[in-house]
Amino acid sequence: MTPTPHVHRLRVYYEDTDAAGVVYYANYLKFAERARTEMLRAAGVEQRALASDQGVSFRVQDCRIEYREPALLDDEIEVRSHLTALAGARLEAEQEVLRGDAMLARLEVRLACVGAGGRPTRLPPDLRRALAPYCRTKD
């Protein structure tokens, strides 16, 4: 069974754009980060509690973005997120930024799970279980 992606909807504001009303390229990283945070929340995971109770947080190790079409001022867009790996001390995600049926950008993100001092640590079992509904294997 293929899991349903987590969907985070947002509107493009003036502050997200350049002088021509086009979303500044780095803001896609912000949109994707917010979507991953909301996916964690939907799974019942609060990052602040994860850090304070279990000493665990995430660090981006690698990110690849393919830009296809620009998002524009006032567009309603959505970020669809799937996890593609929950292994050891890492999470991998594929995220798509869409306006309707048009794909604007596609991201592949690899995150490290880290503990005290920023050292890699295995994903806690309860976190792995909470995120499993959003995980699919890579094609």
Catalytic member of 16, 18, 101, 126: 18
Q: Phi/psi at 43 (nearest 5 deg)?
A: -85, 0
Environment class of residue 52 by beta-carbon count within 10 Å: exposed (0-12), middle (13-18) or buried (19+)?
Answer: exposed
18 catalytic, yes or no?
yes
Residue 16, strand partner residues: none
Which residues are within 8 A (CB) of 52 and not within 5 positions of it... i.e. 6 or more apart?
A: none
Query: Which residues are catalytically annotated?
Result: 18
